[in-house]
Amino acid sequence: YRSFELLDAGLDRIREMWERVLELFARGALRLPPVRAWDVRRAPEALRHVSQARHVGKVVLTLPRALDPAGTALITGATGTLGAAAARHLATTHGIRSFLLLSRRGPAAPGAPDLVADLEATGAQVTLLACDTADRAALADALTHLPPDRPLTAVLHTAGTLHDATLPELTPHHLDTVLRAKADTAHHLHELTRPHHDIAEFVLFSAGAGTFGGPGQGNYAAANVYLDQLAQQRHDTGLPARSIAWGMWEERSGMTAHLGERELARMTRTGLLPLPTDLGLTLLDTATTTPHPHLVAARLDTTALRHHTDTDGTGIPPLFRTLVRAPQRRGLAHSTGPDASSWTQRLAGTTAEQGQRMLLDLVRTHVAAVLGHTGPETIDAHRAFRDLGFDSLTAVEIRNRLTTATGLKLPTTLVFDHPTPTALTTHLHTHLTDHPTPTPTPATPTTTPDDDPIAVIGMSCRFPGGVHTPQDLWHLLTHAHDAIG
């Protein structure tokens, strides 16, 4: 009898201790040791990691799962180009027979009826909803439409949007527009599907901008890096995850429909070639067979990449140096980069007019290359860069090229501060010679009529307060609003 009393007392003590431990966990005072998961195909790396005592907590091996055709595939941005292509591919190649398709416009989106018809023709059950997936409550409500007899087996997050701007011009609105569609949706999908669904694939459509950068896409790069890191975090905790950093697809989408031939030519010059849809879907299948949570799926032209980095002056990016081997230049260590003194020496024995002419040829040559013209003779030296077709992205490219060619440290606002090739040439000549080129005296302005006392010759509306056009500026002034930058 005494033994039972002692046993009861011991059990009571153990129960109290566990209740105390659970209370500490609930308050966040105690946490479970971290768990890092490795795909079983990377078992040698996991064992090496343990043998080197680099781990804290537990190291576990996970087994890959195959897609269950009887389950449901959830796709965000489903009526977009990539989302629709992925849905058709899952139905025809992987035999998925249930889809929950989400997009901002839902059934009202262009091509939505055809998409639903194509999927139903394969025998699939399709639910297409209009949903702002960046709204957590709206996404949670959409998940209630999952068929009870067809559990969620795959998540593909293809939604995204662009709102490009160079870093000095980035605003909270630029960030919010891009981060909501990409990062917020990914975070909500991660949290809302984690506790309730046994998912085989959780695929995030990231972009190359987060891996090797993109001019004017700082906000877009940040959003995609979030996707890449979320996939890594899920993978480390044993959850399925894959973030695929895509290059540009050949088939136009809502995010690339605005690109003209000039923009596409500029991208091609950097060595990134558009992906045909068939190749992209093949790469998607290949990615899902690997144990890695973050992959880059891009089509590279190594010859163009080498040539572009030589002319742009940025050098081969470290990420590509095992793929693109640039020829080694022999010479002194201190003379490997551009040097303004070389142009200073070339201009030393010339007259101001000759120097201006030489530099104008240089400027027009690089302007023609950036804009995709056949030669410098097509560039009007007195025409404004904006009228020639320059935007913030091409402005950065011409700055990089002229920095390489002259060795001068030039600002990203170069073509906005000096708005014509002639004005830019004068600026370069002033900095490369000891004797500044005389600036022509402007003609005396004529008197304006009494009924038209103000003439606006040109404006560059880069002001705070959402001012992007002359009309915005006039509204700001006449209504006496505050604008703080």
pLDDT in tens, 286-299: 999 999 999 999 88
For the entire predicted model, the pTM comes to: 0.67
Region class of 228: left (phi > 0), else alpha (psi between -120 and 50), else beta? alpha
Residue 255 is part of a domain; what is its CATH number?
A: 3.40.50.720
Q: Quick one: 424 exposed, middle or buried, by C-beta within 10 A (0-12, 13-18, 19+)?
A: buried
Q: How many structural domains comprise the chain?
A: 3
Kind plus residue range of the DSSP H or E element containing 73: strand 72-76
pLDDT attached to residue 279: 95
Residues 104 and 229 in one domain: yes
Write down the residue that tokens 């090496």 correspond to.
48
Choose among 247, 245, 236, 157: nearest CA to 201. Answer: 157
Domain assignment present for residue 65? The answer is no
Domain assignment present for residue 388? The answer is yes
Residues 351 and 402 in one domain: yes
Residues 239 and 142 in one domain: yes
Question: How sure is the predictor about 309, in pLDDT bands with cuts at 50, 70 and 90?
Answer: low
Residues 12 and 82 in one domain: no
Residues 420 and 298 in one domain: no
Residues 246 and 349 in one domain: no
DSSP-derived 3-state class of residue 150: coil
Tell me the average pLDDT of the chain: 82
Residues 253 and 150 in one domain: yes
| Cα gap 256→258, rounded to integer Å | 5
Domain assignment present for residue 381? The answer is yes
Structure tokens at 22: 């659970």
Residues 91 and 231 in one domain: yes
Residues 260 and 395 in one domain: no
Domain assignment present for residue 54? The answer is no
Domain assignment present for residue 272? The answer is yes
Residues 155 and 202 in one domain: yes
For 102-150, the pLDDT digits (tens) are 999 999 999 999 999 999 999 999 999 999 999 999 999 999 999 999 9
Residues 162 and 283 in one domain: yes
Residue 405 is part of a domain; what is its CATH number?
A: 1.10.1200.10
DSSP 84-138: HHHHHHHHHHS---EEEEEESSGGGSTTHHHHHHHHHHTT-EEEEEE--TTSHHH
Residue numbers of the domain that contains 166: 72-309
- Among 288, 309, 330, which residue terminates a domain? 309
Domain assignment present for residue 205? The answer is yes
Residues 20 and 81 in one domain: no
